[in-house]
Each structure stands twice: as C-alpha cells, then as structure tokens.
Amino acid sequence: MEDPDARRQDYPPVLDAQQVAQLLQLNIDYVRKLSREGVLPAHKLPGGRTFRYFKDEVLDWLRSQPAGAEEGDEPLNAFE
C-alpha cells in the first residue's frame, strides 16, 4: 500500500487548481468554488485569472477541518 505522505511529497510547493483537486481528491469545480468563496486558501497574481495554492497552506487547511458532523446536524442514533 502506498504511503500517503510520500504521495504528497510528489507535489511541488506551488500548485494549480487541478493539482489541489487531485491532492484533496475533490472535483476541480468544487476547489475553484471554495477558492472564490475564500474558504480554501488561494492566491492570484495581479491581473491573473487563475488561482495558485501553496501546498503547505492547503494541507494546513485540510488538517483544520472537523472530521465529524457539521454544526447543527442531529447526531445519528443507531438504536432508534
């Protein structure tokens, strides 16, 4: 089985939206949406139209995301 940390090291320090989508295993349109909304840390060069991402910022953002239910969700009860 492939080591996930080794796979992350294959990516350069600055990524484009496609690389972020592959890294996070998300749809590229969703990555762009999160970027436009300011949810996912992204950068644009002056006059640029495309986002660029620092790999370390993306991975830090991912680590900061809760792994459980979203706020306001009812907990699941398997005994009901």
Over residues 7-58, the pLDDT tens digits come to 667 899 999 999 999 999 999 999 999 999 999 999 998 998 999 999 999 9
- Quick one: which of 78, 58, 49 has its CA closest to 14? 58
* CA–CA gap between residue 73 and residue 38 (Å, rounded): 23
The reported pTM is 0.71
